[in-house]
């Protein structure tokens, strides 16, 4: 009979309340501490956001970032997309070179092959450069129909220092687009 006294001790675990703790999601593509976990090294070219779910027929924006670059004076980005599933609506220059007195921003959209070329950087003969992470451009797309696709960089991208030397790009990000 006295064993009944010990039943509450066993019920302690049963009745103790606890909440389900959320899991940390470190999925910001611009987080330098998560670059290795996201399978790329820096300096890198990345899209923000790296996942997007637009409605079919609606516009959506993708930002292009240079991440953890050192002494950067100019960039050429070649971006590939599926021209049957979306088309480019607009371009806008980023603020990475915003302190330049003269700035280059030129873009070309080959909608037949689904390739975008963007040239941006400092103009002139001075040795202006920037370092760190910054926005190079913003591209607005329009989703045509229901689909899933990826916007990616090609191997023809290039970052240059003030002396027009190549800065090695160690990582390329992708943007997964799921129109539904």
Partner 1 sequence: MFQKIYPLLLVLFIGVIYAQDAPPTDTEDQEDIEATEDPNAAPENQGVAPKDQSTATEEAMPAEDAKEPEKEKKSKPPKIQKPKTQMGTLLRGVVVPGLGHVYNDNKRIGYLWMGIEAALLAATMNYKSTYDESLSDYNNYQTLYWTETDVALLLLYKEKRDASRKDMDAANTNYQVFSGLLAAGWLYSAVSAYLEGPGTPKYLQRKRQALSRMDMNVAFNHEQQNMQLKFSVPLR
Q: Which residues form the interface with partner 1 (CB under 8 A)?
A: 1-2, 4-5, 7-9, 11-19, 21-22, 24-28, 30-33, 48, 63, 65, 132-133, 135
3-state secondary structure of 7: helix
Q: Which is nearer to partner 1, 42 or 85 (CB)?
A: 42
Q: Which is nearer to partner 1, 17 or 112 (CB)?
A: 17
- Retrieve residue 154's tokens: 């090609």
Q: Could you tell me the smallest distance in angstroms from the CB atom of residue 12 to partner 1?
A: 4
Q: Could you tell me the smallest distance in angstroms from the CB atom of residue 113 to partner 1?
A: 29
User: Beta 174-179 vs 51-52: how paired, if at all?
Assistant: parallel
Q: Which is nearer to partner 1, 29 or 114 (CB)?
A: 29
Output the CA–CA distances (angstroms, integers) from residue 62 to 33, 121, 138, in the order listed. 22, 19, 6
With tokens 């979306």, the residue in question is 86
CA 70 and chain centroid, separation: 18
Q: Which is nearer to partner 1, 52 or 85 (CB)?
A: 52
């Amino acid at each position: 009979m006295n064993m009944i006294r010990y039943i509450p001790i066993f019920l302690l675990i049963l009745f103790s309340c606890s909440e389900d703790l959320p899991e940390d999601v470190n999925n910001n593509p611009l987080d330098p501490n998560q670059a290795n976990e996201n399978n790329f090294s820096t300096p890198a070219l990345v899209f923000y956001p790296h996942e997007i779910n637009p409605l079919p027929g609606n516009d959506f924006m993708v930002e292009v970032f240079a991440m953890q670059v050192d002494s950067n004076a100019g960039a050429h980005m070649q971006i590939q997309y599926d021209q049957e599933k979306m088309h480019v609506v607009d371009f806008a220059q980023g603020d990475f070179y915003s302190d330049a007195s003269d700035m280059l921003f030129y873009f070309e959209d080959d909608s037949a092959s689904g390739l975008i070329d963007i040239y941006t950087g400092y103009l002139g003969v001075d040795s202006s450069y920037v370092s760190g992470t910054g926005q190079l451009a913003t591209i607005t797309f329009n989703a045509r129909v229901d689909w899933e696709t990826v916007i990616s960089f090609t191997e023809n991208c290039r970052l240059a220092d003030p002396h027009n030397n190549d800065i090695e790009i160690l990582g390329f990000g992708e943007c997964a687009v799921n129109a539904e």
